[in-house]
């Protein structure tokens, strides 16, 4: 894991001091709320429905046990005893007092964490593949590139007041995108060219929100040394021509669509060539310095554990069997596995963990996974380096703390925004829908029968729950003053990126989960084999049979 240099430390400490000063000036009245707003936003501090919300960055999702414990401390001391993991691999606190925020930032700085640019119209936290470093299909660890982007974007003086927020994602697995790079403002894929040289493919203009767009390729291969210069060039063009007259037209996806991708690319290329050999060019020494910090832990020499895994899956203890079947992912090193800790349990909003659970997860990470855990964009945690033989012991400990739900990538593993329970933008609640779904489909045998399913819920069209790219998406709307839900089918954030389509009129809160169940029953009747996932089946048969089944009574 990346260790801060003295410069990195100074920056987060000085930021905490700067924010302390800004809060003092705000409290004394010499800074008005209108000016304070962008300052607090660039420190991750939002005003929500009931209170401030603080968003803490987790660069590329990676946390060590010390950081987990500090977040447990923050949840306990400054919040109501819990933390919330978000769809961008970050942590949110829903109840901090303004006066406490500088103290929280100092606590975070002490474990090499920060909230810099976690909101506001600037470059946000860089996200990545939660299985980075351990995935079998990875060609290069994307985290060093995420870290390079984090440093480049931190207090970038030119791009702190962009037309709109700006999100970058990186993946090192070109054949299986788990970082949703095509629906980011910029997506970076590490790829090899014809000569086998490693470089970056750069995509831009993807995004969800009100106008979902799949990103377009600007460069299919770029030397790694030029990555940051090229990002500078994209941002410079966007900062100059991006629209500022209408916030709903201000994202780079609109800029590229209105300019035309070829013209936009030409503008970026012109800017890039002017700067290519100047001071942003990465050196081999810098690439090495950062890469070296992500070296693999010292694995034991173990035999392949594939047969042990098969045995565990068939375990007589059914819950454990389900958990191994669904939550354990193949590891690139023999004898090891990556295990997903589901944060989608029956009675808790998706992504929430208590302070005591966080402390426990820290202990578990130390004991079973070299002291590290990774936040996923599906609001779960991954223990990336578990000895396969230790899975039964790990499972037993997780179970004791209500962290052993075996539903990874199944219907109850919903992605869900905070919705109208917390958010000032929302039109409808989303957490109660997620909780009803986890109750309705509680039976894991039923869930496994339905198979891989990404269900995503947003409480408004801003799409924080990524409903456009759910195999099934649920969108909360306000229909004549009442909450209602649109049902959308057929989205995917991965290599086969597609946007889900609305199948009919919005449904009342007491009908939406029934409709979901109808869709899934229809799918079970239509699929050619259990291997045909819902998404594949939908793509084969189209929306009509689902539509007819859901709206049969109307």
- Residues of this chain that bind other proteins (CB under 8 A): 7, 10-11, 14-15, 18, 22, 30-31, 35, 38-39, 121, 151-152, 154-162, 228, 236, 239-240, 244, 274, 278-283, 285-286, 289
Task: In angstroms, give the least distance from the CB of 154 to other proteins.
Answer: 6
Judged by beta carbon, residue 235 or residue 433, the one nearer other proteins is 235
Cβ atoms of 168 and 180 within 8 Å: the answer is: no
Judged by beta carbon, residue 91 or residue 282, the one nearer other proteins is 282
Judged by beta carbon, residue 22 or residue 77, the one nearer other proteins is 22
Task: In angstroms, give the least distance from the CB of 254 to other proteins.
Answer: 17
Cβ atoms of 231 and 491 within 8 Å: the answer is: no
Residue 386 dihedral angles phi and psi, to the nearest 5°: -105, 135
- Distance of alpha carbon 156 from alpha carbon 164, whole angstroms: 15
Task: In angstroms, give the least distance from the CB of 256 to other proteins.
Answer: 17
- Distance of alpha carbon 32 from alpha carbon 29, whole angstroms: 6
Task: In angstroms, give the least distance from the CB of 161 to other proteins.
Answer: 3
Closest CA to 350 of 407, 277, 425: 407
Judged by beta carbon, residue 68 or residue 256, the one nearer other proteins is 256
Task: In angstroms, give the least distance from the CB of 239 to other proteins.
Answer: 5
Cβ atoms of 489 and 503 within 8 Å: the answer is: yes
- Distance of alpha carbon 511 from alpha carbon 459, whole angstroms: 16
Judged by beta carbon, residue 15 or residue 249, the one nearer other proteins is 15
Cβ atoms of 465 and 416 within 8 Å: the answer is: yes
Judged by beta carbon, residue 12 or residue 329, the one nearer other proteins is 12
User: How deeply is 31 buried, as exposed, middle or buried, from its count of CB atoms within 10 A (0-12, 13-18, 19+)?
Assistant: middle
What the block records as the tokens of 412 is: 């109850």
Burial 371-410 (b: 16+ CB within 10 A, else e): bbbbbbbbbbbbbbbbbbeebeebbebbeebebbbbbbbb
Task: In angstroms, give the least distance from the CB of 214 to other proteins.
Answer: 27
List CB contacts of 18: < 8 A, sequence separation 6 or more. Answer: none
Task: In angstroms, give the least distance from the CB of 121 to other proteins.
Answer: 7
Task: In angstroms, give the least distance from the CB of 26 to other proteins.
Answer: 11
Cβ atoms of 181 and 170 within 8 Å: the answer is: yes
Judged by beta carbon, residue 226 or residue 372, the one nearer other proteins is 226
Judged by beta carbon, residue 274 or residue 314, the one nearer other proteins is 274
β strands within 225-265, DSSP E: none
Would you give the DSSP letter of residue 203? E
Judged by beta carbon, residue 235 or residue 499, the one nearer other proteins is 235
Task: In angstroms, give the least distance from the CB of 274 to other proteins.
Answer: 7
């Amino acid at each position: 894991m990346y260790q801060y240099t003295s410069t990195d430390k100074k920056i987060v400490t000085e930021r905490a001091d700067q924010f302390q000063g800004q809060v003092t000036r705000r409290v004394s009245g010499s800074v008005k709320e209108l000016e304070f707003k962008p300052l607090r936003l660039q420190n991750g501090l939002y005003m929500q429905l009931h209170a401030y919300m603080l968003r803490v960055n987790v660069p590329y999702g990676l946390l060590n046990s010390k950081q987990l414990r500090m977040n447990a401390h923050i949840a306990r001391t400054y919040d109501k005893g819990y933390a919330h993991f978000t769809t961008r691999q970050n942590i949110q606190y829903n109840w901090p007092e303004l006066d406490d925020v500088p103290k929280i930032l100092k606590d975070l700085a002490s474990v090499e964490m920060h909230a810099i640019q976690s909101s506001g119209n600037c470059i946000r936290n860089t996200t990545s593949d939660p299985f980075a470093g351990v995935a079998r299909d990875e060609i290069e660890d994307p985290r060093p590139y995420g870290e390079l982007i984090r440093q480049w974007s931190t207090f970038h003086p030119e791009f702190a007041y962009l037309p709109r927020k700006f999100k970058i994602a990186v993946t090192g697995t070109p054949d299986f995108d788990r970082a949703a790079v095509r629906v980011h403002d910029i997506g970076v894929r590490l790829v090899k060219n014809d000569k086998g040289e490693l470089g970056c493919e750069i995509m831009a203009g993807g995004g969800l929100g009100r106008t979902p767009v799949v990103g377009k390729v600007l460069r299919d291969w770029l030397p790694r040394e030029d990555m940051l210069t090229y990002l500078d060039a994209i941002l410079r063009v966007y900062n100059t021509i991006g629209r500022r007259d209408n916030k709903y037209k201000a994202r780079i996806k609109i800029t590229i669509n209105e300019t035309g991708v070829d013209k936009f690319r030409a503008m970026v290329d012109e800017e890039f060539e002017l700067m290519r050999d100047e001071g942003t060019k990465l050196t081999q020494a810098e690439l090495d310095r950062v890469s070296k910090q992500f070296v693999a832990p010292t694995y034991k020499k173990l035999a392949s554990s594939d047969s042990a895994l098969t045995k565990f899956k068939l375990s007589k203890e059914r819950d454990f069997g389900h958990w191994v079947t669904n939550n354990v992912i193949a590891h690139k090193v023999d004898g090891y596995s990556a295990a997903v800790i589901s944060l989608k349990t029956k009675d808790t909003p998706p992504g929430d963990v208590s302070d005591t659970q966080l402390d426990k997860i820290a202990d578990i990470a130390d004991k079973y996974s070299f002291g590290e855990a990774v936040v996923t964009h599906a609001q779960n945690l991954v223990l990336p380096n578990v000895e396969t033989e230790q899975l039964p012991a790990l499972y037993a400990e997780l179970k004791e703390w209500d962290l052993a739900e075996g539903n990874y990538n199944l219907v109850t593993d919903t992605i869900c925004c905070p919705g109208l329970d917390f958010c000032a933008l929302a039109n409808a609640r989303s957490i109660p829908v997620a909780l009803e779904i986890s109750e309705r489909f509680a039976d894991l045998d039923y869930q496994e029968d339905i198979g891989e399913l990404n269900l995503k819920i947003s409480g408004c069209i801003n799409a924080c729950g990524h409903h456009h790219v759910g195999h099934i998406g649920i969108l909360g709307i306000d229909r004549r003053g009442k909450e209602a839900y649109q049902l959308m089918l057929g989205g995917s954030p991965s290599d086969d990126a597609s946007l889900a389509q609305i199948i009919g009129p919005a449904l009342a809160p007491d009908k939406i989960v029934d409709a979901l169940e109808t869709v899934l029953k229809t799918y079970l009747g239509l699929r050619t084999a259990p291997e045909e996932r819902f998404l594949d089946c939908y793509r084969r048969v189209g929306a009509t049979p689902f539509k007819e089944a859901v709206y049969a009574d109307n």
